[in-house]
Amino acid sequence: MAKAFGEIIIDIDKCKGCELCIDSCPQNTLALAPKINQKGYHYAIKVQDNCTGCLNCALVCPEGIINVYRKIVK
Amino acid sequence: MTNPISINEVPVNPEIIQDEYLIYKKPSTLTDKPFHYCPGCGHSTVHKLLMELVEEIGIQSDIIGVAPVGCSVFAYDYMDIDMQEAAHGRALAVATGVRRMLPDKYVFTYQGDGDLAAIGTAETIHAANRGENILCIFINNGVYGMTSGQMAPTTLAGMVSTTSPFGRDVKTQGYPLKIGELLSLLPGVAYVTRQSVHTPTNVRKTKKALKQALEYQKQGLGFCMVEVVSNCPSNWKMTPLESLKFVEEKMIPFYPLGDLKVPGGK
């Protein structure tokens, strides 16, 4: 069975910490960082290495700051 | 973009971070300017969807937008296309002028509920009744966002806003206005649909609806409206996640999603 490996890159300086990506992630890959960014928001980070590249976070992210990569291994 | 290693708690796999595997990035038709919208606002999601479509269809130099007055007044700062600002509520009147002068371009207006449903009701209804070949994007969040949450015509019955602190009383303040249903009765209107952006599925559906509306505009079928039921966390005094729950539980039962009118249909 083909397996999808995903990877995301978040532009944390533009993150406003709305948590929509965290809520939409079916794998619980994301969480809010304990640190804050230059805007003063807790930003979203990847905390688990189980991303499948499903795109949910990127679709709901209002700022459009999540780049998603997906590699499918057969 | 920041160094990818520093932004994740778990290390990234450099094998996957390659251009050939890139499946999503911010569309190039959006400028680099960060959105001024509050965290979790639906406006930025719709801006993003529209600009993704402009990039995909390749119409960056063939589309003209009309920005409203309201939270999205600075839409022209973010969308890297030709834009025109209109007086409060008059976006469709300005768009009519643009459409008459440039009949072969795509024309859209981007309006909120205070702009389209209250101050610009006359312009909206008459532009729709004339069957102007314009796409109207209507963001319905039930309050006047920019001026800090006063009651709009679309505010739900019983919903608290700064000018209805005990909840909207329909006996004195009237019933919430369903602009989508109202416009779908007019013969000049080709396509009316109501969508939302509160879940990934709905975001995909909204993008499809916007694409369909642009397609109808290309065919010259007439007035198209895509209404997006959105959230306003700041003025509803909620966190972004609570506001999405409110959209799901309160807004969508009153403003049901789906196509209200399709060309050749009902």
B151 domain-assigned: yes
Give chain B's domain count. Answer: 1
Paired strand residues for B194: B227, B258
Q: Which stretches of chain A drop beneath a pLDDT of 50? A: none
Q: What pLDDT shows up at residue B266?
A: 55
- Pairing label, strands B189-196, B106-112: unpaired
Is the predicted pLDDT of residue B214 greater than 90, yes or no? yes
pLDDT the model gives residue B102: 95
Does B10 have pLDDT greater than 80?
no
Subunit contact B16:A7, Cβ cutoff 8 A = yes
Containing structural domain, residue B78 = 35-261
Provide the 10 A C-beta neighbour count for residue B100.
11
- Predicted pLDDT of residue B1: 46
Q: Has residue B21 been placed in a domain?
A: no
Alpha-carbon gap, residue B44 to B34, rounded angstroms:
10
User: Of A5, A16, A39, which to mutate for an interface test with B (greatest number of B Cβ within 10 Å)?
Assistant: A16
Q: Which residues of B touch A5 (CB under 8 A)?
A: 13, 16
Domain of B106, CATH number, reads: 3.40.50.970
Q: Which among A18, A55, A62 is the nearest to B24, CB-wise?
A: A55
Are the Cβ atoms of B40 and A69 closer than 8 angstroms?
no
Contact B145, B69 (CB under 8 A): no
B70 touches chain A (CB under 8 A): no
Q: What is the arithmetic mean of pLDDT over B67-78? A: 94
For residue B199, what pLDDT is reported?
95
Instruction: Give the CATH number, domain containing residue A28.
Output: 3.30.70.20
ipTM rounded to 2 decimals:
0.93
Q: Residue B19 domain-assigned?
A: no
Mutate to test the interface with B, among A65, A69, A72, A73 (most CBs of B within 10 A): A69
Single-letter amino acid, residue A28:
N
Residue B216 is encoded by which pair of tokens?
């109808």
CB atoms A45 and B8 under 8 Å = yes
The backbone region for B137, taken as left when phi is positive above 0, alpha when psi lies in -120 to 50, beta otherwise, is beta
What is the enclosing helix (H) or strand (E) of A42?
A: strand A42-46
State which residue of chain B sits closest to A22, comparing Cα positions.
Answer: B241
- Residue in B4, B21, B199 nearest the CB of A71: B21
Distance CA B117, CA B196 (A): 18
CA dist A36 and B55 (Å) reads 33
The owner of tokens 């944390």 is A12
Between CA B38 and CA B258 the distance in angstroms is 27
Cα–Cα distance measured from residue B213 to residue B219, given in angstroms and rounded to the nearest whole number: 10
Q: Does B75 touch chain A (CB under 8 A)?
A: no
Tell if the CB–CB gap between A64 and B203 is shorter than 8 Å. no
**Interchain pair B25, A45: CB under 8 A:** no
DSSP per-residue string spanning B209-263? HHHHHHHHHHHT--EEEEEEE---TTTTTS-HHHHHHHIIIIIHHHS--EEEE-T
Across the range B236-258, mean pLDDT stands at: 95
**Band of pLDDT at residue B3, cut at 50, 70 and 90:** very low
Q: What's the domain range around A30?
A: 3-73
B1 touches chain A (CB under 8 A): yes
- Give residue-wise pLDDT tens across range B126-169: 999 999 999 999 999 999 999 999 999 999 999 999 999 999 99
Whether B134 is covered by a domain: the verdict is yes
Per the structure, the count of domains in chain A is: 1
What's the rounded Cα separation, in Å, for the pair B65 and A64? 20
Q: pLDDT at position A59, please?
A: 95
Residue ranges of alpha helices (H) inside chain B are 4-7, 42-57, 75-78, 91-101, 113, 121-129, 170-173, 179-184, 200-219, 240-246, 252-254
Q: Are strands B106-112 and B143-144 parallel, antiparallel or unpaired?
A: unpaired
Is B98 domain-assigned?
Answer: yes
Chain A residue nearest residue B47, CA to CA? A62
Decide if B248 touches A, using CB distance below 8 A.
no
